[in-house]
Structure 1
Amino acid sequence: MCDFNNQQIKLIDFGFATIFENNEITKPLPIRGAISLGNLKLLKFCSELPLDSSSDIHYEYERTFDLYCALNVIIIMTDRYINDQFCAIEQKQLPTYQNKILNIYHFWLNLKEKNIVYSKLLESIDNLKETSYFDIIINDLGKFPIFNN
């Protein structure tokens, strides 16, 4: 959510949350809702599902899953060109759901390969081993000019 008065982005829970035990690194959960802002692993997984797969497919969500989603939301909200490209894919009429997910997967993969800022931030999330995830990410975000406005 955007708080334009305070110039802040506020992340909210849309009803799909879980609690990880201290020793849990992943947790199998059903895939729900829009996944276009999910991480590359989820998008690849979904793009490879058979066309006739049931709606009760489970995915091994990592503790850091929401960080990837938040980063994708921030990138789309702060870069008009990326936003326009993403929206064009989202609005494109494709023959199957898997085609759409595959196109979105390639969009994020291409961005990772060509955008050094995005790539470095993904790397920071990939390398998290501590519980203070957000402090580390906030520190890394501050290193990049695009996020220092």
Structure 2
Amino acid sequence: VFERGWPSAPEPWRQPQLEAPMERIAALRALVNRQLESCRSGGQLGASLEACVQLEFSAAEASNATRDALAWLEGSAHPSVDNLADWLLVSQLQLGGSAPAAVLAEANEEGITVRIAKADGQKCERCWHYETDIGQHSSHPTLCGRCVAVLG
């Protein structure tokens, strides 16, 4: 089994123009994961979906590479699914603005300030995201609006 190696993707699937935005998103995810892990090891959070993340970019870091990566993600064919919060595996994400009330962890690396707080709301039984609209849907009182829409 180990001698077979990994299958390679067919050449038509390769899209070199996506390498730069994906590398930037992976770097953001690593940065956020370091802070999430510090909260987990301190017993402040369990799963990453319990978190609300705030990202603040300094003027220097608001570079074309980061802007392009975020714009690419926002322009996805499925923006309700392919968004930065889902790539970071957190329930809530805030870009800029005022800091959350109860910050559990904060770090500044590479011109990006990451703040971690507990996510608002309750846990959806289907997707496990913490959302504020749980209990507002009579047909599915334990699900979030996104899951209710999927189930119809």
TM-score bracket relative to the smaller structure: under 0.3
Compute the TM-score of the two structures, normalised by the length of structure 2.
0.23
Q: Give the number of the structure with larger relative contact order, counting CA–CA contacts within 8 Å between residues 6 or more apart.
A: 2
Between structure 1 and structure 2, the one with the greater Rg is: 2
Q: Which has the higher helix share?
A: 1
